[in-house]
Structure 1
Amino acid sequence: MDATLLHIHPASPEPIYRQIAEQIRRMVAGGQLARGATLPSVREVAAAHAINPMTVSKAYSQLEIEGVLERLRGKGMAVAARAPHAAGAGHRWALLDPALDAVARQARELELGPDEVLARLSQRMQEEHE
């Protein structure tokens, strides 16, 4: 995994360590990070995003506690052999549902209809692949 694959949003109300942890969880659940894949070092991620190394360390430690990552002696962090993986579609939806709930609530508050929201989501997903 390349450290620049993470998208950090400093202005987000979500703490940066949680942003990192959530993105790694999704990459593992979606199969983008295979079991045993090594992650960039804390220093590499911190340097690539101009953030405090302790922030990255906190995210990695949280994922280690959850069993998503494991520490490899002399090699850093890797996706755990028993990490939840792409096979569990229910697990992937569980990671996405909180964001969908927030979008649905905000769309109602802004009086945006489902068709408008779905069209915008579809557009964003296409742009993400370009």
Structure 2
Amino acid sequence: MDASLLTIQPNAPEPIYRQIVDQLRRLIASGQLLAGEVLPSVRDVAGFHAINPMTVSRAYGMAEAEGLLERLRGKGMAVAATRKAVQSESQRMALLEPQLQALARHANELELPADAVLRRLAKLLGD
């Protein structure tokens, strides 16, 4: 894995460490990160994204506590060997559900028609 695989949004309301953990969860669930794959070092991620190394360390620690990652002596953090290769579509959709609910709420608050929102979403997804 390369540090550029993570997308950090410093101005987002969600804390950076939470952004990292959530992205790792999704990348593992989708099979983009496989069991045993070594992650970039805390220093590499922090340097690439110009963020505090303690933030990355906290994210990695939370992911480890959750069972997503495991510490490999002398190599750093890797995707836990016990993780399934790819989760089912319904399991992956469940990870997306909070963002979909927020999107629907925002669209309703802005009184945007569903078909316009869906067209824009399809365009963003590349469909």
Residue identity matched to 2:102: A
RMSD (Å), alpha carbons: 1.3
When residues 32 and 17 of structure 1 are mapped into structure 2, their CA distance, relative to the original with a 3 A threshold, is same
Q: Under a length normalisation based on structure 2, what TM-score does the superposition of the two structures give?
A: 0.95
Aligned residue in 2 for 1:43? 43
Aligned residue in 1 for 2:66? 66
Deviations 1:74-127 (A, max 9, x none): 000000012254233232112100000000000000011111111111111119
Gaps of 5+ in 1: none
SS in 1 for 2:100: helix
Percent identical pairs in the alignment equals 60
In structure 2, C-alpha distance between the alignment counterparts of 1:108 and 1:85, rounded to whole Å: 37
Aligned residue in 2 for 1:10? 10
SS in 2 for 1:56: helix
Aligned residue in 1 for 2:107? 107
Aligned: 1:87 with 2:82:
no
Aligned residue in 2 for 1:34? 34
SS in 1 for 2:86: coil
Gaps of 5+ in 2: none
When residues 85 and 110 of structure 1 are mapped into structure 2, their CA distance, relative to the original with a 3 A threshold, is farther
Q: Under a length normalisation based on structure 1, what TM-score does the superposition of the two structures give?
A: 0.93
Residue identity matched to 2:59: A
